[in-house]
Amino acid sequence: MRMMTLLLIPVFCFMSQAVAHDPNDDGPPWLQVEKFDQADSFRQLEELLPTPTEARLASGAPGPRYWQQQVDHDIDVRIDSENHRLFGSETITYHNHSPHTLTYLWLQLDQNRFRDDGRGRLSETGGPGESEGFGWMRRISLQKEFEGGFNIRKVADASGNDLPHTIVETMMRIDLPEALGPGGTFIFSIDWDHYIVNADVIRARGGYEWFKETGNAIYEIAQWFPRLCAYTDVDGWHNKQFVGSGEFTLEFGDYQVRITAPDTFVVASTGMLQNGSDVLTDTQQTRFNESIDSDRPIFVITPEEAKENEKRVASGTKTWKYNAENVRDFAFAASPKFIWDSMGVAIEGKSERTLAMSYYPNEGEPLWSKYSTHAVAHTLECYSHFTIPYPYPVAISVNGPVGGMEYPMICFNGPRPEEDGTYSKRTKYGLIGVVIHEVGHNWFPMVINSDERQWTWMDEGLNTFVQFLTEQLWEEKYPARRGEARNISDFMTSERQVPIMTNSESLLQFGNNAYAKPATALNILRESILGRELFDFAFKEYAKRWAFHRPQPADLFRTLEDASGVDLDWFWRGWFYSTDHADVAIERVVEFSLEKGNPDIDKPARKEDRDGDPEWITRQRNKEISKRTERFPELLDFYNSFDELDVTEKDRRDYERFLEELEDDEAELLKTPWHFYVVRFRNFGGLVMPIPIEITYEDGHTEMVRIPAEVWRRNNRIAARMFVTEQPVTRFEVDPLFEIADADRSNNIFPPEMGRERFRLERDRDRDNPMRDAQEWREGKETEISARRFAKKLVEEIRADLSGFARPVRAVLRIAEEFPPELVTDPWGNRFELATSTGDPDRPEGQIAVLRSDGPDQEAATEDDIRFVIFKDGKIERKSGGSKKP
Kind plus residue range of the DSSP H or E element containing 694? strand 691-697
How far is residue 780 from each of residues 412, 765, 865, measured CA to CA in Å? 49, 21, 10
**CATH at residue 707:** 2.60.40
Q: pLDDT, tens digit, for every residue of 626-645? A: 999 999 999 999 999 999 99
Q: State the DSSP string of 805-832.
A: TTSHHHHHHHHHHTS-GGGSB-TTS-BP
> 224 pLDDT exceeds 90?
yes
pLDDT value, residue 773: 76
Are residue 728 and residue 863 in the same domain, yes or no?
no
- Which residues, 6 or more positions from 866, have their beta carbon under 8 angstroms from its beta carbon? 780, 783, 784, 787, 852, 853, 855, 878, 879, 880
Are residue 104 and residue 206 in the same domain, yes or no?
yes
pLDDT value, residue 333: 98
Q: What is the pTM of this model?
A: 0.81
Sort 66 into a burial class: Cβ within 10 Å, 0-12 / 13-18 / 19+. Answer: middle
Question: How many domains does the chain fold into?
Answer: 4
pLDDT value, residue 840: 60
Q: How far apart are CA 550 and CA 251, in angstroms?
A: 9
Residue 812 counted as domain residue: yes
pLDDT value, residue 775: 77
> 20 pLDDT exceeds 80?
no
Q: Partners of 773 in the beta sheet?
A: none
pLDDT value, residue 881: 54
Residue 24, φ and ψ in degrees, nearest 5: -90, -5
DSSP state of 361: -
> 455 pLDDT exceeds 90?
yes
- Is the model more confident about 770 or about 837? 770
**Helix-, strand-, coil-residue percentages of the chain, each rounded to 5:** 35, 25, 40
Kind plus residue range of the DSSP H or E element containing 601? helix 599-611
pLDDT band at 792 (very low <50, low <70, confident <90, very high): confident
Are residue 625 and residue 725 in the same domain, yes or no?
no
Residue 600 counted as domain residue: yes
Q: pLDDT, tens digit, for every residue of 314-353? A: 999 999 999 999 999 999 999 999 999 999 999 988 999 9
pLDDT value, residue 12: 31
Q: pLDDT, tens digit, for every residue of 822-845? A: 677 777 777 777 777 555 666 677
Are residue 600 and residue 729 in the same domain, yes or no?
no
pLDDT value, residue 884: 40
Least confident piece of the model among 68-82, 115-129, 544-558: 115-129
**CATH at residue 139:** 2.60.40.290
Q: Which of 704, 735, 750 is the last residue of a domain?
A: 750
pLDDT value, residue 26: 54
Q: State the DSSP string of 300-320.
A: EE-HHHHHHHHHSPP-SEEEE
pLDDT value, residue 13: 33
Q: Are the beta carbons of 342 and 298 closer than 8 angstroms?
A: yes
Nearest Cα to Cα of residue 234 among 21, 409, 68, 417: 68
**Average pLDDT of the chain to the nearest whole number:** 88
Nearest Cα to Cα of residue 550 among 122, 235, 120, 182: 235
- Is the model more confident about 672 or about 382? 382
Residue 84, φ and ψ in degrees, nearest 5: 55, 65
> 15 pLDDT exceeds 80?
no
Are residue 639 and residue 676 in the same domain, yes or no?
no
Are residue 691 and residue 653 in the same domain, yes or no?
no
Q: Are the beta carbons of 496 and 509 closer than 8 angstroms?
A: yes
Residue 141 counted as domain residue: yes
> 549 pLDDT exceeds 60?
yes
pLDDT band at 187 (very low <50, low <70, confident <90, very high): very high
pLDDT value, residue 609: 86
Q: How far apart are CA 380 and CA 561, in angstroms?
A: 27
Q: Which of 637, 670, 703 is the last residue of a domain?
A: 670
Q: How far apart are CA 355 and CA 376, in angstroms?
A: 9
Q: How far apart are CA 320 and CA 67, in angstroms?
A: 34
Residue 198, φ and ψ in degrees, nearest 5: -80, 100
Are residue 680 and residue 665 in the same domain, yes or no?
no
Percent of the chain with pLDDT strictly greater than 70 = 91
pLDDT value, residue 208: 95
Q: pLDDT, tens digit, for every residue of 795-830? A: 777 776 644 444 455 566 666 777 777 677 777 777
**Mean pLDDT (whole number) for 238-252:** 86
Q: How far apart are CA 248 and CA 228, in angstroms?
A: 11
Q: pLDDT, tens digit, for every residue of 292-312? A: 999 999 999 999 999 999 999
Nearest Cα to Cα of residue 270 among 332, 224, 223, 314: 332
pLDDT value, residue 371: 98
Q: Are the beta carbons of 429 and 390 closer than 8 angstroms?
A: no
pLDDT value, residue 8: 30
Least confident piece of the model among 445-459, 745-759, 853-867: 853-867
Q: pLDDT, tens digit, for every residue of 28-87? A: 554 555 555 577 899 999 999 999 999 999 999 999 999 999 999 999 999 999 999 999
DSSP state of 770: H
pLDDT value, residue 19: 36
- Is the model more confident about 163 or about 828? 163
Q: How far apart are CA 662 and CA 546, in angstroms?
A: 64
- Is the model more confident about 796 or about 413? 413
**At how many degrees (to 10) do helices 808-817 and 770-800 cross?**
120
Q: pLDDT, tens digit, for every residue of 850-886? A: 878 877 767 777 777 778 888 777 677 877 654 443 3
pLDDT value, residue 286: 97
Residue 102 counted as domain residue: yes
Are residue 642 and residue 710 in the same domain, yes or no?
no
pLDDT value, residue 491: 93
Could you give the 3-state DSSP secondary structure of residue 37? coil
Residue 514 counted as domain residue: no
Instruction: For residue 34, count other CB atoms closer than 10 A to its CB.
Output: 5
pLDDT band at 420 (very low <50, low <70, confident <90, very high): very high
Kind plus residue range of the DSSP H or E element containing 396? strand 394-399
Residue 99, φ and ψ in degrees, nearest 5: -85, 15
Nearest Cα to Cα of residue 291 among 356, 225, 387: 356
- Which residues, 6 or more positions from 391, have their beta carbon under 8 angstroms from its beta carbon? 326, 447, 547
Residues of the domain holding 142: 68-123+135-251
How far is residue 125 from each of residues 116, 143, 454, 683, measured CA to CA in Å? 14, 15, 21, 38
pLDDT band at 765 (very low <50, low <70, confident <90, very high): confident
Q: Which of 620, 653, 670 is the last residue of a domain?
A: 670
Adjacency order of strands within the sheet including 729-734: 702-707, 691-697, 729-734, 749-750
Are residue 678 and residue 794 in the same domain, yes or no?
no
Residue 368 counted as domain residue: no
Instruction: For residue 306, count other CB atoms closer than 10 A to its CB.
Output: 23
Q: pLDDT, tens digit, for every residue of 485-540? A: 999 999 999 989 999 999 988 899 999 999 999 999 999 999 999 999 999 999 99
Q: pLDDT, tens digit, for every residue of 364-377? A: 999 999 999 999 99
pLDDT band at 764 (very low <50, low <70, confident <90, very high): confident
Are residue 660 and residue 808 in the same domain, yes or no?
no
Residue 296 counted as domain residue: no
pLDDT value, residue 289: 97
- Is the model more confident about 813 or about 707? 707
Residue 73 counted as domain residue: yes
Are residue 726 and residue 660 in the same domain, yes or no?
no
Q: State the DSSP string of 206-241.
A: SEEEEETTTTEEEEEE-S-S-EEPPEETTTEE----
Are residue 74 and residue 158 in the same domain, yes or no?
yes
DSSP state of 403: S
Nearest Cα to Cα of residue 886 among 869, 862, 863: 869
